Amino acid sequence: MLLNIPNTITIARVASIPLFIALVLWETWLGTILAIVLFALAAISDIVDGYLARGLGHTTTFGTFADPIADKLLITAALITFIQIGELTAIPVVIIISREFIVTGLRIMAISKQKVIPASILGKLKTHSHIGLILIVLISRHVDLFGISEEITYAFIILAVALALISAGEYFYRSRHLNLFQ
C-alpha cells in the first residue's frame, strides 16, 4: 500500500522543502523561526515514519527507497540554500553532497547484486551532525550564541564534513567483501 501513514509522512517531508527554502530566503526573524520549526518537524518526522513503518508493519519498497532520499533532499536543499545566502561556502557542501551520491551509488551497486548495505551508526551520526549544522546556521543568523556563533558554526562544519568522510570510508570498508567492483 503506497499511501500508508509512514509513506505519507515521507512525502510530506519532501513537500515541505520548497516552503523551508522560502522561509530561509525570507531572511527575517519570523522566517528563520518558522524555518527552524519546519526543519525540526521534518527531521523528527524521519524518526516517526520509520518507527510507524516498523511498528505497524507498514514497511514498503517505496518507503525503503523514499525515506533516505527524502532526508538527503532536505539536507541538500538546506545546505545549497545556505550557500545562496552566504552562510556556508561551497567546499564543505560539495563534500557532504558528494558523499551522499557516492554512498547511495555504492548501495545501489549492492542491491544490483542482491546485497544490502545497512545503515550504520556512523551514518546515523553523520545525519545528526548535518541536522545540527543546519539548525546552528539557522539559529546563529539572528542570535549570537554566547558571542561565538562563528566558532560554533565552524566546529559543526568540521564535524559534519569529518563524519561524512569517515562514514563514507566505513561504508566502503564494510562492503569490501561484496565484490561490487567486479
Provide the CATH number for the domain around residue 171: 1.20.120.1760
pTM for the complete prediction? 0.92
Q: For a pLDDT cut of 90, what percent of the chain falls above it?
A: 66
Identify which has the larger pLDDT, 133 or 104.
133
> DSSP letter at 176?
G
Over the stretch 26-75, which tens digit does the pLDDT of each residue have? Answer: 989 999 999 999 999 999 998 898 888 888 888 888 888 888 899 999 99
Using the predicted structure, report yes or no on whether residue 14 has a pLDDT greater than 70. Answer: yes
Rounded to a whole number of angstroms, the CA Rg of the chain reads: 17
Task: Determine the Cα–Cα distance for residues 141 and 129; give it in Å rounded to an integer.
Answer: 18
Cα 119 to Cα 32, 48, 64, distances in angstroms: 31, 17, 12
**How many structural domains are present in the chain?**
1
- Residue 11 corresponds to which cell in the numbers above? 512525502
Put residue 57 in one of left, alpha, beta given phi > 0 → left and psi -120 to 50 → alpha.
left
Using the predicted structure, report yes or no on whether residue 180 has a pLDDT greater than 90. Answer: no
Q: Which domain holds residue 23?
A: 5-178
Using the predicted structure, report yes or no on whether residue 12 has a pLDDT greater than 60. Answer: yes
The predicted structure's pLDDT at residue 61: 81
Give the up-direction half-sphere exposure of residue 12: CA atoms within 13 A in the CB hemisphere: 17
Q: What share of the chain is helix, strand, coil (3-state, %, to 5)?
A: 80, 0, 20
Q: Are the C-beta atoms of 20 and 56 separated by less than 8 Å?
A: no
